Amino acid sequence: MTHKIWKKDYTPADFNDRCRGTAVTHMGIVCTRVGPDFIEATMPVDERTRQPLGLLHGGSSVLLAESIMSTAGNWTVDFPNEYCVGQEINANHVRSAREGFVVGTARPVHVGRSSQVWETRVEQDGKLVCVSRMTLAVIRRTTEKAPHA
């Protein structure tokens, strides 16, 4: 059984509003579900996200993964007193996609006081396209200005 890990009752609209006017909206990424311990978002496979051979660009998959994992991390901390920033990300691209949509689902591996590890599975039609893992540092606010959660 999963338990709710978010500090507030977040919705897909919270993610989509937070990302308005960023690379996330430029790439067509839209949050579709927020569960008790996961965030899910879709991304089109189109001219914005393909590489020259017509395949989903690996960097696009990583942008999708990092966007939902970074948001997820920030939703678990006491913002604005704390916030999360990425330290490392990796990805394994295991299947190509040429059209349609991919779905990324971020889930925690470790949520600690000073660091977090998240994993995103990017799938198309239930088949794994990419798996990505990200380490986040939890930063305690020491100045008057903190990034937007």
25: CATH:
3.10.129.10
Helices (H) and strands (E) in the chain, counts: 3, 6
DSSP 60-124: HHHHHHHHHHHHHHHHTS-TTTEEEEEEEEEEEE-S---SSEEEEEEEEEEE-SSEEEEEEEEEE
Point out the catalytic residue in the list 40, 47, 66, 144: 66
Residue-range definition of the domain harbouring residue 93: 12-140
Residue at 6 is within a domain = no
All residues at 6 or more sequence positions from 17 whose CB lies less than 8 Å from its CB, including other chains: none
Q: Is 144 an active-site residue? A: no
Q: Number of structural domains, the chain?
A: 1
Residue at 145 is within a domain = no
What's the rounded mean pLDDT across residues 133-141? 96
Residue at 149 is within a domain = no
Q: Give the pLDDT confidence of 93-125 residue by residue, as tens digits.
A: 999 999 999 999 999 999 999 999 999 999 999
Residue at 34 is within a domain = yes
